[in-house]
Amino acid sequence: MKSGLIISRTVWMLSLVSLFTDMASEMLYPVMPVFLRSIGFSVVMIGLLEGMAEATAGLSKGYFGKLSDLKGERVPFVRWGYTLSAISKPLLAASVFPLWIFLARTIDRLGKGIRTGARDAILSAEATVETKARVFGLHRAMDTAGAFIGPSLAILFLYFYPQRYQLLFLIAFIPGIVAVLFTFLLKEKNVNQAGRTPSSFFSFLKYWNDSSPVYRKLVAGLLFFALINSSDVFLLLKLKDSGLSDINVIGVYIFYNLVYALLAYPAGSLADRWGLKKTLITGLILFALVYAGMSVNGSLWWFGFLFFVYGMYAACTESIAKAWITNISRKEETATAVGTYTALQSVCTLIASASAGWVWYSFGPSALFVVTGAAAFVLAIYFLMVRS
């Protein structure tokens, strides 16, 4: 990064790529379960589909992150990753055959796995230690802006064209291909590696033993958080169980993404000045408070307030965590460090959602939210002891 320049052209390009990609993906998020049910998918099949898709994305993040480091290349992984995600959208419109739908969703998630480590390594290289959080924060802000715009456009489209799901999939291809075009404005910077390939798909796991003790302590805490941080679907189900209408539930979700998008960059700027660890701990405390608040029934205003705080939590955690990881990792192993973390995080997230479903079913939603909030508070204390 040039002296005195906080946000480089490359960071802006990657941020725009993420904005348009998330716009395309989130256009489909609110309607995907309804579409799948309309073509004959059972709840079990939907769960299997999403589980396989997320597992594909998660595990491939580690492999392709390590491959990017070994080959000393970033941009090809970014370009191919976003391309696969873009072409998966019209593929969903091509057929309703179950195996075809599985293929399309897997291609989408594989694209995410291919690009994540390389993209975050580029972002890290475009920042200094003093500006790392705000660079990741800007990228997250633009990404989440797409998550706000996408569902809003989908609701508007379905208002005028009810149940025209496949046409919506074709329209979602437009922002997806715009994102791919932006990747051609990225320039490769040699990472000076030997051009090797990983010995096996799971070879990235060896990085855990090779990494520093600080990395292992940090990531161990983050993985524990992933184990207790179940899918946001459970938060939305709580809203529905409390009597909110479908429109109100979707509206609260859009509102959360708007808050997240608006606060991600300011939270990154705060973290650069105040400290990554303090900001992350603040986010965990906010998370604990939200889950404690979700244990009781309330009105639309109460849940709106909780999701406003939830947006604050999100702004103080995800991009901050990646900034912290890249700060304590060697430059030539940045993609491996991020890829290993995100791969293990995906596995933990799957376990978290399955466990949350069991707790909800066995003991009720209040038990789930109270236990999760308490665990997050304990984790905040743990991070007080981790060296930044």
User: CATH no. for residue 328?
Assistant: 1.20.1250.20
Residues sharing a CB contact under 8 Å with residue 66, sequence separation 6 or more, in sequence order: 117, 198, 203, 204, 207, 335, 336, 339, 340
Q: What is residue 4's predicted lDDT score, i.e. its pLDDT?
A: 43
Is residue 199 a part of any domain in this protein? Answer: no
Q: What is residue 51's predicted lDDT score, i.e. its pLDDT?
A: 65
pLDDT reading at 225 higher than 70: yes
Q: Tell which residue, 267, 242, 263, has the closest CA to residue 252.
A: 242
3-state secondary structure of 274: helix
Is residue 174 a part of any domain in this protein? Answer: yes
Amino acid at 201: F
Q: Tell which residue, 56, 154, 164, has the closest CA to residue 102.
A: 56
pLDDT reading at 182 higher than 60: yes
Is residue 198 a part of any domain in this protein? Answer: no
Is residue 253 a part of any domain in this protein? Answer: yes
Is residue 3 a part of any domain in this protein? Answer: no
Residues sharing a CB contact under 8 Å with residue 310, sequence separation 6 or more, in sequence order: 235, 256, 259, 286, 287, 290
Q: Tens digit of pLDDT for each residue in 93-144?
A: 888 787 888 888 888 888 988 999 899 999 988 888 888 888 999 999 999 8
DSSP annotation of 95: -
Q: What global pTM score does this model have? A: 0.81
Average pLDDT of the chain, as a whole number: 85
Name the domain count of the chain. 1
Is residue 330 a part of any domain in this protein? Answer: yes
Q: What is residue 3's predicted lDDT score, i.e. its pLDDT?
A: 41
DSSP annotation of 206: G
Is residue 236 a part of any domain in this protein? Answer: yes
What is the spatial distance between Cα 355 and Cα 369, in angstroms, rounded to a whole number? 12
Q: From its phi and psi, is residue 386 left (phi > 0), alpha (psi between -120 and 50) or beta?
A: beta
Range of the domain at 262: 9-188+207-384
